[in-house]
Amino acid sequence: MTLPPDAPGPSVPHLLLGVCDYPEQVPQDRWAPYARQQRELGLSFVRIAEFAWSRMEPHPGEYDWAWLDEAVETYAAQGLRVVLCTPTATPPAWLVRAHPEILPVDDQGRVREFGSRRHYDFASPVYREHSRRITRAIAERYGGHPAVVGWQTDNEFGCHATSRSYGGASAAAFPGWLEKRYGSLEALNAAWGNAFWSMEYAAWDQLAPPILTVTEANPAHALDYARFCSAMIAEFQAEQVAILRECSPGRFVTHNFMIFESGFDHYEVSRGLDFATWDNYPLGMLEFFAPPGYEAQKLEYARTGHPDLVAFNHDLYRGLLAGVPGRLGRGGPGTPTGPWVMEQQCGQVNWAPYNPLPADGAVALWTAQAWAHGNDVVSYFRWRAATAAQEILHSGLLRHDETPDRGHAEVAALNLEGFPAGEVPARVALLHDYESLWIYDLQPHSAGLNYWAQTLAYYSALRALGADVDVLHADADLSGYAVVVAPAITLMTPERAARWTAAVEAGARLVCGPRTAFRTVSGGTPEGGQFGPLAGLLGARLAQFDSLRPGLETRVAGPGGEYEAFAWAESYRPEAGTAVTHRYVGGPLDGQAAALCRPGGQGEGVVIGAHSPALIAEVLRGVLGRAGVDTTDLPPGLRLSRRAGRTLLQNWTAGPLTWNGIQVPPVSFQVRPD
C-alpha cells in the first residue's frame, strides 16, 4: 500500500493504517525486518520517537541523532511515512536532577517523582525552555525529511492525573493569571462569592491552589484553577507547535488525546493543531475509564468494549477542531487530514484491573468503527510487545517472541478499499463543554452520577435509535443541525443562551438534560435561578432537584407510560405556553413537571429533568421524529454508523443479532450502502 502522491480532494482515498514502533527498545538488527513486515501487512504510517529523549540527548546538550537517522531511513526505505514526536512527556533523569523544580505536585501536596512518565509541571519556565529546545533540535533535524509527514506533540496530555500541578511553578503562576483575568481583587472576590466563609483575598499573593483545605474549597476557586491549568497546557503546546511550523513546513501537527480525559479544555488545547488524534483502547476504557453506572456492562462487553463509549470518543475527538461535521484540518496533497486513531488496541492492554483478551473479530470491528466515525488513519499500538519495563504485559501486533499475535491476522484481513473517505452525515449535534464538566463534578450532589454518565445516557439513547451524532462544543455553530442535545451543559452565559435561542428560532429542536443553565461562568447560580438566561427559551423555572440513592424510587409518567428515574430528579415550574409532557408520580415531586416542551420559532426547546434512560429514549424518539430524522430500534449491542454514503452495521455481542432482516454474526461488521 502506498499513498497516491498527488491526490487532490479528500487527502486519503480510504482508510489507511499505521503502527507505533519503538526502535530504541529493540536491537538494531530488528529494524529492517520489522519495517519490511510492516509494509507487507499493509501499513502506511509509523509513529516513532515518542519517549526517546534520553536517547536523543543522553547528556545535557549532547545530541545523538545517529540512531534516529538510521531508523527514519529504514522505515523510509520501505515506503512508510513517519510521524515523529516531541519527546517531552519524558524528561530524562539528568534534567530532572539538575532542575527538580520542574517536577509537578499532586493534590496531596507531594512532589511527583522521576521514574515513569509525565513528571513535569506545564507552567515551569525552566521546563518550557527545555521543551522548546528539544523541540527545535528534533524539528531542525527532521523537519524537512521527505519521509516525515507529521508530528505528534508530547503524549496523552493529562494522563495519570497530570493536567494539574498543585504547587511549585503552577502555584507561582496562578495569582498572575488570576490578576489578568479579574483585574482587581474586588472582582475576583465578588465572582467567587468569597464573602461566604470569609474567603476574601486582600492581596494577590494570598492566592494558592485549592488543595488540602479543611473541607471542600470554593468551587469557583477550583473552577478557575482548572481553567488556569488548562491554559498552561495550551501555552506549553503552542510553543512547540510554533517551532514545528517554523522548522517543518507542510507537515501536520497533532496530539494524541486520551480516553475521557477531563483535566483540561480539549477545545482550547487542540486549537492550532491540524487535526486531533486519540488513543483508542476499548477494553481498558470500559474497565478503567467508564463513568459510574457501567458495572454490569463491564462483564457483558468485557471482550469488545462498549460500543457507545468508544463511539462517543470518536465523535468527541472528531469534533474538537470543527464547528461542522466532515473534513477537518488544513489537509494538502498527500497529507492525511485526520482525525486519526493514533493508538489502537490490538490485543490485551495491561493497565486496567482486569485486562481480558479481545474477542475474535474485535480488532477488525474497532478499525471499521473508527473509519465509520470519520477517522482517516488507524495506527495500532504497538508493533511488538515490549520485553522490558512497565508494559511487558501489553500486547502488540507481534508477540514477545516476534511471532504474529491474534490482532495481526485481523489487520491483515482488512479490505481498506471498503472503507472510503467521506462525510459523517450527522443531523444531531450533542453539546459538550469542559467547564460544565468541571463545575458539575466539583459538586455532584448525588453519588453515582457525574457529567460523563449523564452525557453518555443521552448519547447512548441517540445511538440506540440509529442516529449519527456530532459532538460539538457548547458554543459551536449549530446551523444545519435538526436536533441539538445538551445533556449536561450546566454553565450558561448570555452569549451561549442567545446562540441556542437563535438556533431554535431557525428550526432546531433543542433537548436539555437536568442542571442545564444552573450555573454561571463564575460557578454561581443565576440570581434568578435556573435556567438563567435560557429561561425564556425553555419557558420554565426550576422547582426542585432531588438526589436519589439506589433504591429510592422516583417515577415519571407520560403518554408513553411510566419510567423509573435514578440518581437525579428535577422538577419545573412551567410558564404558560410550555407543555408539560411528563410528570412525577409519588414522592416529594408528585405531580410536578418532569419534562417540558416549549415551541419557539421554527423549533422547540425540550427539557428532561429526570435521569431516566427510558424516558430520555422516549423523548428523543419523539423529537427526532418531529425533526424528520429517521430512527430505528436497535437491539442492545447492535449499532449503525454512517459515512461516505455507506452504513456500517456492527454487532458488539457474543451472539448473532438481526436487524431489518439482516443477520449479523457475533463481533463482526458489514458495510452496506445507506
Which residues are known catalytic residues?
156, 343
For residue 216, the minimal CB distance to a second copy (Å) is 6
Residue 386 found at the interface with a second copy (CB under 8 A): yes
DSSP class of 357:
P
Residue 528 found at the interface with a second copy (CB under 8 A): yes
* Location of C-alpha cell 488548562: 230
Stretch 352-381 residues interacting with a second copy (CB under 8 A): 353-360
Window 254-273: contact mask with a second copy (x via CB under 8 A): --------------------
Contact region with a second copy (CB under 8 A), list: 316-324, 374-382, 475-483, 550-558: 550-558
In the bound state with a second copy, the residue whose beta carbon lies nearer, of 357 and 502, is 357
Residue 59 found at the interface with a second copy (CB under 8 A): yes
Residue 529 found at the interface with a second copy (CB under 8 A): yes
Q: Which of 32, 111, 502, 579 binds a second copy (CB under 8 A)?
A: 111
* All cell numbers assigned to 76: 523510509
Stretch 445-504 residues interacting with a second copy (CB under 8 A): 445-447
* All cell numbers assigned to 355: 485486562
In the bound state with a second copy, the residue whose beta carbon lies nearer, of 519 and 598, is 519
Q: Which of 131, 237, 348, 436 binds a second copy (CB under 8 A)?
A: 348
Residue 195 found at the interface with a second copy (CB under 8 A): yes
Radius of gyration of the chain (CA): 25
In the bound state with a second copy, the residue whose beta carbon lies nearer, of 429 and 567, is 567
Window 72-101: contact mask with a second copy (x via CB under 8 A): ---------------x-xxxxxx-xx----
For residue 34, the minimal CB distance to a second copy (Å) is 14
Residue 112 found at the interface with a second copy (CB under 8 A): yes
Residue 108 found at the interface with a second copy (CB under 8 A): yes
Q: Which of 545, 560, 580, 666 binds a second copy (CB under 8 A)?
A: 545
The β-bridge relationship of strands 638-643 and 646-651 is antiparallel
Q: Residues with Cβ < 8 Å from 580, sequence gap 6 or more?
A: 572, 574, 593, 595, 596
Spatial separation of the C-alpha atoms in residues 18 and 389, rounded to whole Å: 24
CB 558 within 8 A of CB 579: no
In the bound state with a second copy, the residue whose beta carbon lies nearer, of 447 and 662, is 447
DSSP class of 262:
-
Spatial separation of the C-alpha atoms in residues 543 and 594, rounded to whole Å: 10
In the bound state with a second copy, the residue whose beta carbon lies nearer, of 159 and 324, is 159
The answer on whether 519 is annotated among ligand-binding residues is no
Number of residues that bind a second copy (CB under 8 A): 120
Q: Which of 150, 282, 523, 609 binds a second copy (CB under 8 A)?
A: 523
DSSP class of 288:
I
For residue 326, the minimal CB distance to a second copy (Å) is 36
154-190 in b/e form (b: 16+ CB < 10 A) is bbbbbbeebbbbbbbbbbebbbebbeeebeebeebbe
For residue 203, the minimal CB distance to a second copy (Å) is 7
Spatial separation of the C-alpha atoms in residues 570 and 545, rounded to whole Å: 4
In the bound state with a second copy, the residue whose beta carbon lies nearer, of 385 and 620, is 385
Stretch 13-42 residues interacting with a second copy (CB under 8 A): 22, 24-25
- Cα 134-140-141 angle, rounded to 5 deg: 90
Stretch 400-439 residues interacting with a second copy (CB under 8 A): 400-401, 405-406
Residue 389 found at the interface with a second copy (CB under 8 A): yes
CB 20 within 8 A of CB 381: yes
Contact region with a second copy (CB under 8 A), list: 36-44, 72-80, 112-120, 598-606: 112-120
Window 563-602: contact mask with a second copy (x via CB under 8 A): ------------------------xxx-------------
Residue 208 found at the interface with a second copy (CB under 8 A): yes
Spatial separation of the C-alpha atoms in residues 556 and 347, rounded to whole Å: 44
* Location of C-alpha cell 426542585: 544
241-252 in b/e form (b: 16+ CB < 10 A) is bebbbebbeebb
Q: Which of 28, 184, 206, 632 binds a second copy (CB under 8 A)?
A: 206
The answer on whether 155 is annotated among ligand-binding residues is yes
CA 462 to chain centroid, in Å, comes to 18
The β-bridge relationship of strands 554-558 and 561-565 is antiparallel
Spatial separation of the C-alpha atoms in residues 379 and 103, rounded to whole Å: 31
In the bound state with a second copy, the residue whose beta carbon lies nearer, of 184 and 602, is 184
The answer on whether 652 is annotated among ligand-binding residues is no
Contact region with a second copy (CB under 8 A), list: 374-382, 493-501, 526-534, 599-607: 526-534
Q: In what order do the strands lie in the sheet with 668-673?
A: 638-643, 646-651, 668-673
Spatial separation of the C-alpha atoms in residues 426 and 642, rounded to whole Å: 8
CA-to-CA separations, 296 to 106, 349, 450, 579, in angstroms, rounded: 32, 20, 18, 36
For residue 359, the minimal CB distance to a second copy (Å) is 6
CB 423 within 8 A of CB 337: no
For residue 172, the minimal CB distance to a second copy (Å) is 15
In the bound state with a second copy, the residue whose beta carbon lies nearer, of 588 and 628, is 588
Q: Which of 47, 164, 221, 639 binds a second copy (CB under 8 A)?
A: 221
Q: Residues with Cβ < 8 Å from 202, sequence gap 6 or more?
A: 185
Residue 297 found at the interface with a second copy (CB under 8 A): no
Which own/partner pairs from 196-205 qualify as long-range (CB within 8 Å, at least 24 positions apart)? 204/175, 204/176, 204/178, 204/179, 205/175
Stretch 117-176 residues interacting with a second copy (CB under 8 A): 117-119, 159-160, 162
Other C-beta atoms closer than 10 Å to the C-beta of 58 total 12
* All cell numbers assigned to 431: 453539546
For residue 439, the minimal CB distance to a second copy (Å) is 10
Residue 211 found at the interface with a second copy (CB under 8 A): yes
Residue 109 found at the interface with a second copy (CB under 8 A): yes
In the bound state with a second copy, the residue whose beta carbon lies nearer, of 329 and 514, is 514
Residue 388 found at the interface with a second copy (CB under 8 A): yes
Q: Which of 28, 184, 213, 663 binds a second copy (CB under 8 A)?
A: 213
CB 339 within 8 A of CB 421: no
Other C-beta atoms closer than 10 Å to the C-beta of 55 total 18
Amino acid at 445: H
Q: Which of 656, 638, 660 is nearest to 648 (CA)?
A: 638
For residue 12, the minimal CB distance to a second copy (Å) is 31
Residue 631 found at the interface with a second copy (CB under 8 A): no
Contact region with a second copy (CB under 8 A), list: 76-84, 107-115, 430-438, 492-500: 107-115
For residue 651, the minimal CB distance to a second copy (Å) is 16
The β-bridge relationship of strands 16-20 and 45-48 is parallel
Q: Which of 219, 101, 82 is nearest to 147 (CA)?
A: 82
Q: Which of 224, 279, 287, 410 binds a second copy (CB under 8 A)?
A: 287
* Location of C-alpha cell 520485553: 387
In the bound state with a second copy, the residue whose beta carbon lies nearer, of 262 and 337, is 262
Spatial separation of the C-alpha atoms in residues 414 and 420, rounded to whole Å: 13
Task: Return binding residues for substrate.
Answer: 117, 155, 351
Task: Return binding residues.
Answer: 117, 155, 351
